């Protein structure tokens, strides 16, 4: 039995038991609505285009924030990898900042930018920057000394060595960093949108919670999880495996 078949059977069994528990009234619909109610709420959300606009708005913020995070994270990662002073100062600070949950940055973002789009994107950027920087740093520092010695014997040095040897050798770490940055940024986006004032999955999740629409709350949580799984497993994991295979890892 393939892993895909096992997952499908497990999901069907899970939702079947969930529906059965709701039919037998083992718990209140106000606490955990039946899967059928959740799917109806999602269907209505897509039919009236509410969830469509939410997805478009959320992905727009995510792409902008993640792109900036990857650029800044890569730049900082190269800096702290090539400079011991920067590593001892900025590098140690990044380790501390990475442990700070994204939602903790929300009050600061609101005070700086107000309750708007910029605040949400700011939180998304912070969510992905630190992990990307640390992975780039690890990738550059873990380049095999054999590659560097071989390049030196062929007359390569300085910027030429970095462009042609060091950075290409650290690509697997960069891909892993991008994968983790996506995951952290996606979580940060949901946290930021909980206090946003415009369309977005997080905003609609908070709106549904305020009005006691638990079916829509559960439905949006499922959508967030499915998107996270699809992007991680079907995109980043495949890219990561392809790079590892090509780099002989």
Task: Read off the CATH number of the domain in which 163 is found.
Answer: 1.10.3720.10
Residue 249 pLDDT > 70, yes or no?
A: no
pLDDT of residue 166: 82
Residue 76 pLDDT > 80, yes or no?
A: yes
Q: Range with the lowest mean pLDDT among 135-139, 142-146, 151-155, 185-189?
A: 151-155
On whether residue 31 sits in a domain, the answer given is: no
Residue 140 pLDDT > 80, yes or no?
A: yes
On whether residue 19 sits in a domain, the answer given is: no
Mean pLDDT of 222-231: 91
On whether residue 196 sits in a domain, the answer given is: yes
pLDDT of residue 227: 92
Alpha-carbon distance of 132 to 142, in angstroms, equals: 15
Q: What's the mean pLDDT when you consider all of the chain?
A: 87
pLDDT of residue 129: 93
Burial environment of residue 85 by CB neighbours within 10 A (0 to 12, 13 to 18, 19 or more): exposed
In Å, what is the CA distance from 239 to each residue of 27, 187, 232, 248?
Answer: 43, 21, 10, 14
Mean pLDDT of 57-65: 93
In the chain, the N- to C-terminal Cα span, in Å, equals: 28
pLDDT of residue 241: 84
**Contact criterion met (CB below 8 Å) for 138 and 194:** no
Burial environment of residue 65 by CB neighbours within 10 A (0 to 12, 13 to 18, 19 or more): buried
pLDDT digits (tens, 9 = 90+) for 1-26: 788 788 889 999 999 998 988 888 88
Nearest to 202 by CA among 69, 59, 74: 59
On whether residue 30 sits in a domain, the answer given is: no
Range of 191-200, 216-225, 234-243 with top mean pLDDT: 216-225
Alpha-carbon distance of 59 to 67, in angstroms, equals: 12
Residue 198 pLDDT > 80, yes or no?
A: no
Residue 158 pLDDT > 80, yes or no?
A: no
Structural domain count of the chain: 1
Give the confidence band of 167 by pLDDT, cuts at 50, 70, 90: confident
Domain that holds residue 191: 37-246
pLDDT of residue 234: 83
Mean pLDDT of 144-160: 76
**pTM assigned to the model:** 0.87
**Contact criterion met (CB below 8 Å) for 243 and 172:** yes
On whether residue 206 sits in a domain, the answer given is: yes
On whether residue 15 sits in a domain, the answer given is: no
């Amino acid at each position: 039995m393939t892993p895909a078949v096992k997952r499908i059977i497990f999901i069907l069994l899970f939702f079947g038991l969930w529906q059965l528990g709701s039919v037998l009234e083992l718990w209140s619909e106000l606490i955990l609505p039946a899967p059928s109610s959740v799917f109806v709420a999602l269907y209505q959300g897509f039919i009236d285009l509410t969830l469509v606009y939410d997805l478009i708005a959320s992905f727009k913020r995510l792409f902008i924030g993640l792109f900036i995070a990857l650029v800044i994270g890569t730049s900082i990662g190269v800096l702290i990898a090539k400079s011991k002073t920067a590593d001892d100062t900025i590098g140690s600070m990044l380790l501390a900042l990475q442990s700070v949950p994204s939602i903790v940055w929300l009050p600061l973002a609101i005070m700086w930018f107000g309750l708007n789009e910029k605040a949400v994107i700011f939180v998304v950027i912070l969510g992905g920057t630190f992990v990307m920087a640390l992975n780039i740093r690890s990738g550059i520092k873990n380049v095999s000394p054999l590659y560097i010695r071989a390049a030196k014997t062929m007359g390569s040095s300085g910027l030429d060595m970095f462009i042609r040897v060091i950075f290409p050798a650290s690509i697997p770490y960069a891909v892993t960093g991008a994968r983790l940055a996506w995951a952290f940024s996606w979580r940060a986006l949901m946290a930021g949108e909980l206090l946003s004032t415009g369309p977005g999955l997080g905003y609609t999740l908070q709106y549904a919670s305020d009005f006691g629409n638990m079916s829509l709350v559960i439905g949006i949580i499922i959508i967030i999880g499915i998107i996270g799984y699809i992007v991680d497993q079907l995109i980043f994991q495949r890219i990561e495996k392809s790079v590892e295979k090509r780099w002989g890892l």
